[in-house]
Structures are given as C-alpha cells and as structure tokens.
Chains A and B, each alone.
Chain A
C-alpha cells in the first residue's frame, strides 16, 4: 500500500519533468511565431509581453515584398528531391552488388564505403569548390546536388538490411531466366522498402536543412538560394529587424514542420532504427 503511494508520487514528478521538457522544447518556436505577429514597437519593448497584445501581419507582408519566398521554396524542393532520388538509387544498387553479386574489387569497394563514413566534409570542401568553379557550375542546381548524391551512411544502412535477405529468391529468379536488374527492381526493392524509406526520409531532412555547401555555391546567385541559405542572408540584411526575421523564419520552418507532422511516425521510427543498427 505504502509502496504504491510512493510510486504514484514518483510518477507525478516524472510527468511534471516531461511537461517541463515539452515546454522548453516548444517555447523557442512559440517565441518565433509570437515575435513575428507583434507590431514593431512591441518587439522592442522591454520587459517583453509573453502574449502579444496586438496581432499584425505587417512583418509577413514585408517579408513577401522583400524576399522571393516561392522561388527559394522551389529551389529547396528541387535540390532535396533530386538529391534524395539520386542518393537512394545509387546507394541501393551498390548495396545489392556488395551483398548479392560477385565482382573484382568488391572488398576494396566495401572498405572505401566504410572509410568515407569517417571523412569530414571539410576535408573535401576546398577541392570540391575549385572543381565546381572550374566546371562553371557555380550557382546551379547541379552544384548543390551532385556532391550529396552518394553517401556512405545510406549504403551502410542498405547493406546491413540486404545481407539478411535469403539468396533463395534470387537463385529461383535466376533459374527462371531474369537478370539481376529485373531481380533488383522486382524483388529486392519491395523487400527492402522499410530501409529504403529510412534512407529517403533521413536524406530528405538532411538535404532540406543543409546549409554550408548550398551557401557557398550560391554566393553570387541569390535567386538560386535554398530556403536555409536565403533565410540567413535575409537575417544579415535585416539586422536587428527581429519581427521581419522571425516572420521569415516562421515561413521557412513551415514546410518541413508540416511534412514532419504528416510523416511523424515513419520519420521517428526511421531515426530510431538507423540508430540501433549502427
């Protein structure tokens, strides 16, 4: 009886901690939106009002006048979609070859893939930039997409999934006369769907939020900037105009938060499995 009571108190304390954690996690977002909705004189006010007294859309209107929101959105969509498709396509094919086929240099290729998990982007960034410049690709979608088209982490995830697939299916299909390409697309892809989803989702969020490289290759091409790049440039141009900056932040955060709310379950599970498999 007594123990039960103690248990209840502990449960209540823990629940309060959870709620406090949720408040701390949400508050910055609340503050972003509420700052975006306050008139300028209320933003500068100190002490600040926790709940805005007046609500205005002036900052949002200002942002739409001064920043090409639809274009940056389109840039982000194009870059991340093409990156994700290329990445999933290349990684899946390689993972199949590494686990189910036999070819010369297989072991070396396996080692190369693993080694590049540890190589920081910083090590490659200088030659990459010079190469992109020399190819006259600065300020193009290709410049933003191509270097992210392969990633060892995607291959690693797919390899660890395909290794456990039984060879019997492939054997049977080979006897029936199909080639490996057909087998890959008709049998392997459907069987590895959960892992492919993980690869696609994690890459999508990564690509959408990528900043350094897209920033570097669009320095002289503002109209090509992705949302992440554009929002930071906007902040620098509107220094101390926090209302406009927060309105722009809200608009930039909106698409990815909506995608997250729709795909929450799949996404959280993707992250969870990729973490455990390592």
Chain B
C-alpha cells in the first residue's frame, strides 16, 4: 500500500465525513435499503398499502417461480437474446473496428455514423424498427421482396419475435463496440506488429497471436457489460411487441414488471428480481473464469 498524505498510524481524516456522508445517505436510501427489502420481501407477504410484511412465507415464491411456465419462457427468451445479440454485436463491432483501423480516410466520419443509433436511445430506435418491420407494409419486407426474397413476419410470429428484437438491438450496439474496439486497436503498439512482420508472420497470425491476446481485457469488459445489460432488457420488447405474441418475447425484466406493476404481486416480482440478480452474478463469474483460462 502506498502511504497516504496527512496521517499517522491510528489517526484518520475527519474531513472524510464531508466527502462520503452524502454518498452513504444516498446509497443507504436508494440502493442498500431497496435491495434488502426486495430480498426480504420475496420471502414474505407484502402489504402494499402500509408497505410492510404481514406474513413469512418461506420459499413459496421461489417454488411458484420454479413451476411457472411463463417464467421459464421468459428465461428462455432472455437466453435467446443473450446467445444472439452479444456475439453478433461484439463480433460486428470488432470487424468494423479492424477495418477502420486500416487508416481509411473518413474514419472519424464512419465511426460517428455507426455510433448514431447508440446515441439516439432505445425508445426511438424501437419505434422506428417497429415501423420498418411491419409485416404487411413495412420497408424491410418490401426490400426483401424487391430482391426476390419472401417477406418475414418479424414481430407477429412467435418463432421470430425474440430473434428480431435481438437483431435490432445488435444493429444498435455494433456502433458502441466499434468505438471501444477501435480505441483498443489504437492502443496496440506498432512495434509488436512490425516485429512480427519482420519475422514473417501473416495477417491472420498477427491477429491471432498478437492482437487478440492484447484485446482480451477489452473483450472481457464488453462481454461482462453486455451480460449485465442482456438480462435487464426491457425497453425493446416492451415497445416493439409488448412481450408477445403469446409471451414469445417476454424477457425476465418484462415479466417482473408485469407481475409487480400490472398484477401488483410485489413479493413475487421481488423473487424474480432476486433470481435475475443471481443469474447475472453466476454468469459473470463463469465468464470471468472462462476468459482468465483463455489468456494462459
């Protein structure tokens, strides 16, 4: 540990109170208290009028969740999104970043354009794509038909809806990952690449043996963030399909929202929240292990 200024062994900086107290108050009120209440509330009957727990019900909510086929459908949907959106957007972003990294003229312009969907925000993007993906008079189907392909029932077909949403969100996030990976590429020293080239390495070898290992922390960061976001997905399905048709695009967050704020079953909704939290933690730990091993 580095020595910090202005102290002897047992003394501490009294001024620290001014620095941390406001944060601690906010943190207790708007983070620690809600998390604690949610966990406790998932084991109890919750009276909404008085906001108090009336009866301890143990694992009842979790048993109910386990037997709830609509919840399992939501889990499945969240995993479809996880499996489609994350690889598509991250690999897409990496691909565009590697092209832009070749010093094309107009690089900043391209980067700026790719980033535009991220900036515009998911609400507007969802509405525009709902309009583009209309099955009877939507622009995308028109374009497909124009090149001789059959139109697709993008959002109204239970088999397609979650896939369509994942692809729209992947389209949106590619720009985000392009920016991040482009910066990471530019952080790689030219010396390594020149040295490898002198040793006779080809483009693919340079990518596999030099760039990829150096990009690993960035890839790791992107996957971790994407995981946290994936299991919180709400806006796109809520706006584009309202979770339908027949629950085929209801994500876990959407299901939580519906249970808590449409059916007013706060205690059940909290149990879903706890499961989502645990799931994110478990997957992050697994990803961490997997990629740590990959470096060695």
B-chain residues with CB within 8 Å of residue A127 when the two chains form the complex: 33-35, 37-38, 41, 270
Assess whether A260 is in contact with B114, with CB atoms less than 8 Å apart.
Answer: no
Selecting from A54-62, A66-74, A191-199, A268-276, the interface stretch reads A268-276
Selecting from B12-20, B62-70, B192-200, the interface stretch reads B12-20
Assess whether A232 is in contact with B127, with CB atoms less than 8 Å apart.
Answer: yes
Selecting from B1-9, B81-89, B157-165, the interface stretch reads B1-9
Instruction: Check: B189 CB closer than 8 A to any chain A CB.
Output: no
Instruction: Check: B244 CB closer than 8 A to any chain A CB.
Output: no
Q: A46-B136, A96-B19, A268-B179 are in contact. Are A276 and B184 (CB under 8 A)?
A: yes
User: For window 247-285 of chain B, which residues contact chain A by CB distance below 8 Å?
Assistant: 252-253, 256-257, 260-261, 266, 269-270, 272-274, 276-277, 280-281, 284
Q: Could you say which of A131, A171, A245, A271 contacts B180, with CB atoms under 8 Å apart?
A: A271
> Is chain B's interface secondary structure helix, strand, loop, or mixed overall?
helix
B-chain residues with CB within 8 Å of residue A126 when the two chains form the complex: 34, 37-38, 41, 260, 266, 269-270, 273
Assess whether A122 is in contact with B123, with CB atoms less than 8 Å apart.
Answer: no
Assess whether B120 is in contact with A246, with CB atoms less than 8 Å apart.
Answer: no
Q: Could you say which of B115, B175, B180, B235 contacts A212, with CB atoms under 8 Å apart?
A: B235
Assess whether B137 is in contact with A48, with CB atoms less than 8 Å apart.
Answer: yes
User: For window 233-278 of chain A, which residues contact chain B by CB distance below 8 Å?
Assistant: 235, 242, 245-246, 249, 252-253, 256-257, 260, 264-265, 267-269, 271-273, 275-276, 278
Contact with A along B196-207 (1 / 0, CB 8 A): 000000000000
Docked pose: A127 CA to B51 CA in angstroms: 9
B-chain residues with CB within 8 Å of residue A44 when the two chains form the complex: 137
How many positions in chain B have a CB within 8 Å of any CB in the partner chain? 103
Contact with B along A82-112 (1 / 0, CB 8 A): 0000000011011011001111100001001
B-chain residues with CB within 8 Å of residue A131 when the two chains form the complex: 29, 33-34, 51
Q: What 9 A-B pairs are tightest by C-beta distance, nearest first?
A: A209-B121, A272-B183, A275-B180, A127-B37, A124-B34, A103-B16, A278-B221, A97-B19, A127-B34
Given contacts A31-B132, A276-B217, 19 further A-B contacts (CB under 8 A): A26-B116, A31-B131, A44-B137, A102-B11, A102-B16, A123-B38, A126-B260, A129-B260, A131-B33, A131-B34, A134-B51, A179-B15, A180-B19, A245-B131, A253-B121, A256-B119, A260-B116, A264-B112, A268-B112
